[in-house]
Chain A
Amino acid sequence: DQQVKQNSPSLSVQEGRISILNCDYTNSMFDYFLWYKKYPAEGPTFLISISSIKDKNEDGRFTVFLNKSAKHLSLHIVPSQPGDSAVYFCAASEDFNKFYFGSGTKLNVKP
């Protein structure tokens, strides 16, 4: 059974608006949470991370929120740009050796 789940396979938003991508996990031992972005025919690239001791981490237009009690994290992209159109993977790890990824959410930002 998947320990990290992304229940929305796709999301479509208008350029300039906020994109919110969600992720749920089941293992309370996870200490680190990550988001990766993937374009077609390329490998995933690291976007942003958060450790379990924080509830928010920001990097430019990207903010990750962590709700440990709900075992839920979300990625906010503000404002969304057409170049943000990609598949976004959520991932989690206890120790940076084993990583567990979600199934991905395909974001489409319309001009």
Chain B
Amino acid sequence: EAQVTQNPRYLITVTGKKLTVTCSQNMNHEYMSWYRQDPGLGLRQIYYSMNVEVTDKGDVPEGYKVSRKEKRNFPLILESPSPNQTSLYFCASSPGTPGAREKLFFGSGTQLSVL
């Protein structure tokens, strides 16, 4: 089944403790991105990657890191989480080909709480 898999689904952590949220897609998609969803603000893009080893900042990249060493994986790293990073996070991917680039496939989300 074609899907984007995020792990974990729920995570509670404390301020300053490094964490990684994993994202993997099995559709051979070139493009991947991360979003956070907050009440009243909708989805805001954190980082995106057009292909392996090619990443760039989205709208709200501060406090986050990403890497794209393999096509299928795009982990989100919080080196020193803070309470304002408490949010619902979504990973997404798309084929990156003309006519299909707008069709983002989203994972089910990771609810992160930073105490």
Residues of A within 8 A of B (CB): 2, 4, 6, 32, 34, 36, 41-46, 49, 89, 91, 93, 96-104
Contacts and interface: CB of A to CB of B under 8 A. Distances in A.
Interface in B60-109: 90, 92, 94, 96, 101-109
B111 to A, nearest CB: 10
B26 to A, nearest CB: 15
Contacts of B104: 36, 44, 46, 99
Nearest to A97: B48
Interface in B7-51: 31, 33, 35, 40-45, 48, 50
B108 A43 contact: yes
A101 to B, nearest CB: 4
Interface residues of B, number: 28
Given A6-B42, A32-B102, A101-B45, 9 more contacts: A41-B109, A42-B108, A44-B43, A89-B42, A96-B102, A98-B45, A99-B104, A101-B43, A103-B42
